[in-house]
A and B are shown apart, each in its own frame.
Chain A
Amino acid sequence: MIRSFEGKTPRIHPTAFVSETAYIIGDVEIGERATIWPGVVVRGDIGRIVIGDETHIEDNSVIHGSPNGVMTIGSNCTIGHLVVMHGDRLGDGSLLGNGAIVLDGATIGEWCMIGAGSVVTPRMDVPDRSFVIGNPARVQGEIQPHHEDRRRFGGPFNVDLGQRYVAQGLGERLE
């Protein structure tokens, strides 16, 4: 479902895929070939949410901004299943593992990997290319080449899968 709120309508690029069981409302922008999977909630009611090109938000994740703020999720990001994203920024190419939680005011740089189940604490600032795990999350060091290889595989896979859903008539009709 795609809904306006207080006169603001989500702006979703027509090449994106949005599952018909996702709920997107208010001041939200979604880029080219991005994919939004079943059960995802993107709630742009108290702040603006910008999602880049070819970024993937997997099933049952919740994206909700902070009051009067802007949450920026870059391009080529993967947000796993059951993530809660409540931070200010996720840089280009970064990955949030399944069940990861990013709390208020946290910022995550580019090409970071946040492990499954990690809790990125309020206002934490994660530098570019960090490998982060734990509750509370701690930076373990730089990402390794094999992490990067997996990331380069995952993005195109999701773009393609999204297009296959569209071809079957699944998902919201985007103008």
Chain B
Amino acid sequence: MIRSFQGKTPRIHPDAFISEAAYVIGAVEVGPGSGVWPGAVLRGDFQRIKIGAHTQVEDNVVVHGRVEIGDHVTIGHSVVIHCKRIGSFCLIGNNATILDDSEIGDYCVIGANALVSARMQVPSESFVVGVPGEIRPLPDNMRKRLGPRETGPYADLVRQYKAEGLVSEPVEETL
């Protein structure tokens, strides 16, 4: 479902995919090739949410508050994003929680269930694990798995879900 809030309408790129079972409201921008999967909530009601290109927001994720998320990012199932910025080419593990005013650089991996605490600054090429999160250098084997997402399984899924009409109808004109 896509909804306006206080005169602000989500701006969804025509090549993005918003599942029919997601809920996107208010000042939200989603770039080309990106996907918002079933149960995900992007709630741009009191501040703006901007999501770049080829970024996947997986099932039951919640994004709330003023946040900018870069390109080619994978946000795993059930993640809670409440932070200021996530760079590009990042992987946020299933059920991780990213708290207020924290910032994550490019090429970062946040482990499953990890907690990025409020105001934490995560430099580019970091690996964060645990509760509260501990910042380590990104291992080479993980670094190799991060990269462009214009192609690959999720890019195919975005196209296929759109082709099969499993989408939320736009509210007004798109980008």
Mark A residues whose CB is within 8 Å of B: 1, 3-6, 23, 25, 39, 41, 43, 45-46, 60, 62, 64, 67, 82, 84, 86, 99, 101, 103, 117, 119, 135
Contacts and interface: CB of A to CB of B under 8 A. Distances in A.
A103 B95 CA distance: 11
Chain B residues touching A, majority SS: loop
A64 B59 CA distance: 9
Nearest to B156: A46
A1 B22 CA distance: 12
Given A23-B59, A62-B39, A135-B112, 7 more contacts: A5-B161, A6-B160, A41-B38, A41-B59, A45-B157, A62-B58, A62-B94
A84 B21 contact: no
B152 to A, nearest CB: 10
Interface of B: 19-21, 37-39, 58-60, 76-78, 93-95, 111-113, 130-131, 153, 157, 160-161, 164, 166
Given A46-B157, A103-B112, A119-B113, A84 B78 contact: yes
Nearest to B21: A23
A62 B113 contact: no
B164 A84 contact: no
B43 to A, nearest CB: 16
A6 B157 CA distance: 10
Contacts of B94: 62, 84, 86, 101, 103
Contacts of B160: 5-6, 45
- Most chain A beta-carbon neighbours within 10 Å: one of B37, B76, B95, B131: B95
B21 A1 contact: yes
A3 B161 CA distance: 11
A113 to B, nearest CB: 18
B60 A39 contact: yes
Contacts of B76: 84
Given A5-B164, A67-B153, A101 B113 contact: yes
